[in-house]
Structure 1
Amino acid sequence: MNKLISSAILAGAALAGALPAQAADTVLMMPIAAAMAANDAQSRLGDSVKFYFADQPTPPVASKITSDKTSLRTNGFGKSADKSCNWVFLSAMLALQKRAHEVGADAVVNIVSNYKEKVVASQTEFECHDGAIMSGVALKGDFVKLAK
């Protein structure tokens, strides 16, 4: 009887040890250009708000209005990392655009990835966390009025 219980406990421990590995986050650096080319992103974002990533050169800034951030997730179940990460990136960009309109900004500058408050700055890539069920992107930036 003791041997049966020991075997059951060992089997349960082995299974429990395997579960976190399946649910783990994979941190991916994805190309911004590819995400902007997917899901009709460029036309969905339009040109009412300009976006500048990391230390990308910008036109002169007349005034900084505020800073803000967004953290979004999307269903990644059965989807490739490219597909789900590009989709949630677009959702995050649309959220930044909406916030820009709300505060009267015409540009968002210094956009960086900000997943769990860890800043990753890149002009060409964004950070995406891809799991078995969900994918997530967090961005933050400064909302500004550009000089005319």
Structure 2
Amino acid sequence: MKTRLVALALASALSCTSAFARDTVLYIPLADVLAMPEAQGKLDSDMKFFLAGQSTPKVLKRFSTGTSNPKTNGFNKSDEFGCKWAALSALINLQTSAKREGGNAVVDIVSYYKKNEYKSATDFECHAGTFVVGVALRGTYAKIAD
């Protein structure tokens, strides 16, 4: 009898958990992330970021393409702030890789959440769950003209 009650309680808990799971999709301007006070000092002022479809200075050389897929704890953060925070982490990762390859920019940036590409010349895609907020950005490291 106890085994049945435990099994019933476990099954009930699992079904309730999935009922409360959420995946809210937000589209946020990348410019808002670049303007965050938290971005100052973390993003090199010589490093430039361009979404796919955005006009860029002349690209002198393209290097490899990279993806950054950071997550952040959504607890006690608005979905929008959590998205911006995760995107800032992604940009920092892309910046580090671009510098390592000799680049001063990341171009053709697209959202690449769960390997689904979303292109916008202004916005990136973010997914906010009950406890975790995630962003995936993919871009090409490049050397651009000053």
With the length of structure 2 as denominator, give the TM-score of the two structures: 0.85
Q: 1:145 aligns with which of 138, 143, 146?
A: 143
Deviation for aligned residue 1:93:
0.5
Aligned to 2:108: 110
State the Cα deviation string for residues 17-67 of structure 1 (Å, max 9, x = none).
432132222111122222222243244313221111111111111111111
Aligned to 1:84: 82
Cα distance in 1 for partners of 2:22, 2:37 equals 26
User: CA contact under 8 A between 1:23 and 1:131: conserved in structure 2?
Assistant: yes
Aligned to 2:132: 134
Identity across the alignment (%)? 42
Q: 1:34 aligns with which of 10, 13, 32?
A: 32
Deviation for aligned residue 1:118:
0.4
User: CA contact under 8 A between 1:129 and 1:136: conserved in structure 2?
Assistant: yes
User: CA contact under 8 A between 1:110 and 1:142: conserved in structure 2?
Assistant: yes
Cα distance in 1 for partners of 2:39, 2:84 equals 9
Aligned to 1:52: 50
For these two proteins, the number of residue pairs brought into alignment is 143
User: CA contact under 8 A between 2:54 and 2:122: conserved in structure 1?
Assistant: no
Residue type of the partner of 1:98? Answer: T
Cα distance in 1 for partners of 2:10, 2:45 equals 55
Structure with bigger helix share is: 1
With the length of structure 1 as denominator, give the TM-score of the two structures: 0.84
Residue type of the partner of 1:66? Answer: S
Residue type of the partner of 1:108? Answer: V
What are structure 1's unaligned runs of at least 5 residues?
A: none
State the Cα deviation string for residues 57-80 of structure 1 (Å, max 9, x = none).
111111111111111101111211
Q: Which runs of 4+ in 1 moved over 3 A?
A: 11-18
Aligned to 2:123: 125
Q: Larger Cα Rg: Structure 1 or Structure 2?
A: 1
Cα distance in 2 for partners of 1:35, 1:143 equals 19
Aligned to 2:68: 70
